[in-house]
Amino acid sequence: MNAGLAARHLVLMGLRGSGKSTLGRLVAARAGRGFVDLDDRTPVIMGFASVAAAWEARGESAFRAAEVEALRAALAEPAGVIALGGGTPTAPGAAELAKNSGCVLVYLRCSPAELRERLSQRGVGANRPSLTGKNPLDEIEEVFARRDPVYRALAGQVVEGITTPEGGVERLLGLWK
């Protein structure tokens, strides 16, 4: 374990496609710490294999409640990297839970154009539900407009302009110290 890192969690938030999972795994591996992706844990808590299946079967309200449960459990584990679901900060109680945990909370901020390009390149994926009823690529601006102020208000740090995974890992490790 890297002794130079804080004895608290590094928590990553941002819209889908912002790099939370990709960078989170890389940072955790580099630091010799655990990694938790709430998009993996939340459906399991609900008894489903995917975000889309859980969302479709139980709805947004139940999904958000399960996200808070998953976040609470992850924050109780030894310090590591946690990738929030894109909507986790909007779940009732999640913002307070994260703020009161003493974690290093980072918003991985990308423009809607960057997000669209990233999601288009890798395919949006059947594992992600629409948040507005529109095609996920067509709702990016609307979701960004709603969530950007929430993320900015919650984040201790806002990170923009990550062009390579390696550069992102270095920036995030620097913030975690």
Percentage of the residues of the chain whose pLDDT score is greater than 90: 78
Least confident range from 23-37, 86-100, 116-130: namely 116-130
Instruction: Give, as one character, the DSSP assignment of residue 107.
Output: E
pLDDT-based confidence at 1, cuts 50/70/90?
very low
- Location of structure tokens 């993320």: 151
Contact assessment for residue 71 and residue 63, using Cβ atoms and an 8 Å cutoff: no
Q: Report d(CA 79, CA 126) in Å as an integer.
A: 31
Strands (E), the chain: 10-13, 35-37, 81-83, 104-108, 157-159
Span 25-39, average pLDDT = 97
For the range 44-52, what are the long-range contacts, defined as Cβ-Cβ under 8 Å and sequence gap of 24 or more?
Answer: 45/69, 45/70, 50/126, 50/127, 51/85, 51/127, 51/128, 51/129, 52/126, 52/127, 52/128, 52/129
Task: Please compute, for residue 19, the number of CA atoms within 13 A of its CA located in the half-sphere on the CB side.
Answer: 23
Q: Report d(CA 163, CA 155) in Å as an integer.
A: 21
Least confident range from 59-68, 107-116, 134-143, 147-156: namely 134-143
pLDDT-based confidence at 120, cuts 50/70/90?
confident
Assign 82 to helix, strand or coil. strand
Helix (H) or strand (E) holding 30: helix 20-31
pTM (predicted TM-score): 0.92
Q: Residue 144: is its pLDDT beyond 50?
A: yes
Span 153-165, average pLDDT = 92
For position 174, what pLDDT does the model report? 94
pLDDT digits (tens, 9 = 90+) for 39-88: 999 999 999 999 989 999 999 999 999 999 999 999 999 999 999 999 99
What mean pLDDT, rounded, does the chain reach? Answer: 91
What are the structural domains, with CATH classification, of the chain? 10-172 (3.40.50.300)
Q: Residue 2: is its pLDDT beyond 90?
A: no
